[in-house]
């Protein structure tokens, strides 16, 4: 393995292979790609960190894991893998396979530290990064071509930046689906880079063992074998109705994957997040009371501020109400109502309007003891759009200006300084922030 060299593929690449680690075949354009998805995965991460921090380990079989009788291998250097050692293997077995191995106890703090540096690098290449663990992530590179160049150049640059920043090697797969990208990064290891165009996706999947498909575990695999299905191609050619009869709704799902159709997008971790504010009242409030409105407006104000500070916008607002009628055992009925808007927003007034509108949808005529507002379905606030509003005009611009002014006041004097001229909402306890 040549660390830091220009990454090329290893045994997999052939001159007429649909896989390109280098060469002109699929370098230049992503025309015809629905999505461009990279999967980046650090090589033997924990073991590599140990070698990085203790160069005397370089070139030796290093095994990270519990050394007790019941310990398992969490990571093994490639020098150890040659002996058949792999992660999740009992340490005792690894010791038998590779008696000369150097066993190291893991240092999670250090792995987390390096993981953050890796994440910084990934974030510089895509606004949509979906981490799967400390050392691997999907990056959505769709539409990045104009800015960053063709995917192969991006992937090479990514590998270079990770080495420069951390001294560690990452392998990268690029494809039009998540599943294929992940299979490719795995196949390319160590120090690999594989790119597969969508035209070649099915031909690539065809000969692979069916357990390569996500979700095919031991039980499903045994049943697939019973049905005479051993490769992804064999599954792809089956009758989908027949698969449904035999495997339930999982059958058609696997059939789609086998045929190269995997519509799941890369979802950034910030997109999964939601923001929420809620509080319990000193006295139960009527649904149509002014006090309840004030509380919702205060929550919306706080949410808008948090969204703007994080530069994200939300499409969906959820109202949460806890009714005052006890169910016994300290429990109360909880109602939620949600509404989404076409335009993602970070505007407190827009969030308040939706929340108040949702109160009107509640048919129960009961008092409430708690009210909360949550926002989710987040999007990154578009930087270019924000630029447009630098010299705002019109209604949206007016609320942008107002929000900025309020944010500035809140930063100086604290959140409670800003409740849009309303009396402070009645609170039994300070609002709870939920993230």
Size of the site for Mg ion (CB under 5 A): 4
CB of 51 to Mg ion, least distance (A): 14
Please tell me the chain's helix, strand, coil percentages from 3-state DSSP, rounded to the nearest 5: 40, 20, 35
Closer residue to Mg ion (CB): 41 or 301: 41
Closer residue to Mg ion (CB): 57 or 368: 57
Interface map 335-364 toward Mg ion (x if CB under 5 A): ------------------------------
Binding segment for Mg ion (CB under 5 A), chosen from 130-138, 180-188, 353-361, 377-385, is: 130-138
CB of 183 to Mg ion, least distance (A): 14
CB of 75 to Mg ion, least distance (A): 8
Enumerate residues 279-338 that contact Mg ion by CB under 5 A. Answer: none
State the catalytic residue, choosing from 50, 79, 130, 136. 136
Rounded Cα gap, residues 197 and 151, in angstroms? 11
Q: Which of 36, 37, 38, 42 binds Mg ion (CB under 5 A)?
A: 42
> Does residue 386 contact residue 312 with C-beta atoms inside 8 Å?
no
Binding segment for Mg ion (CB under 5 A), chosen from 41-49, 113-121, 362-370, 383-391, is: 41-49
**SS3 category, 62:** strand
Closer residue to Mg ion (CB): 42 or 57: 42
Antiparallel, parallel or unpaired: β 275-285 and 432-434:
antiparallel
Binding segment for Mg ion (CB under 5 A), chosen from 36-44, 141-149, 190-198, 230-238, is: 36-44
> Measuring CA to CA, which residue among 98, 175, 191, 86 is closest to residue 139?
175
Cis peptide bond upstream of 191, omega within 30: no
Rounded Cα gap, residues 405 and 280, in angstroms? 29
Closer residue to Mg ion (CB): 41 or 50: 41
Is residue 135 a contact point for Mg ion (CB under 5 A)?
A: yes
Is residue 41 a contact point for Mg ion (CB under 5 A)?
A: yes
Closer residue to Mg ion (CB): 45 or 122: 45
Phi, psi (5° rounding) for residue 277? -135, 135
Is residue 278 a contact point for Mg ion (CB under 5 A)?
A: no
**42 DSSP β-pair partners:** 170
Rounded Cα gap, residues 318 and 291, in angstroms? 19
Binding segment for Mg ion (CB under 5 A), chosen from 35-43, 46-54, 108-116, 244-252, is: 35-43
Q: 222: exposed, middle or buried (C-beta count within 10 Å: 0-12, 13-18, 19+)? A: exposed
Active site residue 234: no
CB of 242 to Mg ion, least distance (A): 37
Helical pair 290-310 and 348-360, crossing angle rounded to 10 deg: 140
> Measuring CA to CA, which residue among 170, 173, 63, 184 is closest to residue 117?
170
For Mg ion, which residue has the nearest CB?
Answer: 41
Active site residues: 136
Applying CB under 5 A, the residues found at the interface with Mg ion are: 41-42, 45, 135
């Amino acid at each position: 393995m040549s660390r830091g060299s220009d990454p090329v593929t290893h045994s997999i690449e052939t001159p007429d292979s649909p896989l390109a680690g280098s060469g002109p075949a699929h370098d230049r354009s992503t025309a015809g790609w629905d999505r461009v998805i990279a999967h980046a995965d650090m090589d033997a991460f924990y073991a590599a960190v140990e070698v990085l921090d203790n160069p005397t380990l370089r070139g030796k079989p290093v095994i990270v894991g519990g050394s007790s009788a019941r310990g398992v291998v969490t990571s093994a250097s490639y020098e150890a893998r040659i002996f058949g050692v792999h992660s999740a293997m009992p340490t005792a077995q690894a010791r038998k396979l590779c008696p000369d191995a150097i066993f190291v106890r893991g240092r999670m703090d250090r792995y987390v530290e390096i993981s953050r540096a890796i994440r910084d690098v990934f974030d510089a290449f895509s606004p949509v990064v979906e981490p799967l663990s400390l050392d691997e992530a999907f990056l959505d590179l769709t539409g990045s071509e104009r800015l960053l160049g063709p995917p192969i150049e991006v992937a090479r640059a990514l590998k270079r930046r990770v080495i420069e920043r951390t001294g560690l090697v990452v392998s990268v797969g690029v494809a039009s689906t998540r599943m294929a990208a992940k299979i490719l990064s795995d196949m390319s290891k160590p120090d690999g880079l594989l790119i597969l165009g969508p035209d070649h996706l099915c031909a690539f999947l065809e000969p692979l063992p069916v357990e390569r498909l996500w979700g095919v575990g031991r039980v499903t695999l045994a049943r697939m074998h019973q049905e005479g299905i051993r490769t992804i191609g064999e599954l792809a050619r089956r009758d989908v109705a027949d698969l449904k009869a035999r495997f339930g709704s999982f059958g058609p799902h696997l059939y789609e994957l086998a045929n190269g159709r995997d519509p799941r997008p890369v979802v950034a971790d910030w997109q999964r997040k939601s923001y929420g504010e809620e509080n319990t009242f000193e006295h139960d409030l009527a649904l149509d009371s002014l006090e309840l409105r004030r509380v919702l407006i205060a929550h919306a104000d706080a949410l808008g501020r948090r969204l703007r500070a994080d530069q994200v916008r939300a499409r969906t607002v959820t109202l949460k109400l806890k009714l005052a009628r006890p169910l016994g055992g300290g429990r109360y009925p909880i109602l939620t109502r949600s509404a989404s808007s076409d335009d993602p927003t970070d505007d407190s007034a827009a969030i308040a309007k939706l929340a108040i509108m949702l109160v009107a949808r509640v048919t129960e005529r009961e008092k409430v003891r708690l009210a909360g507002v949550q926002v989710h379905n987040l999007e990154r606030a578009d930087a270019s759009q924000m630029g447009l509003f630098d010299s705002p005009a019109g209604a949206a611009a007016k609320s942008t200006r107002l929000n900025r002014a309020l944010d500035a006041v809140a930063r100086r004097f604290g959140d409670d300084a800003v409740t849009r001229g309303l009396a402070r909402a009645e609170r039994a306890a300070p609002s709870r922030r939920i993230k």
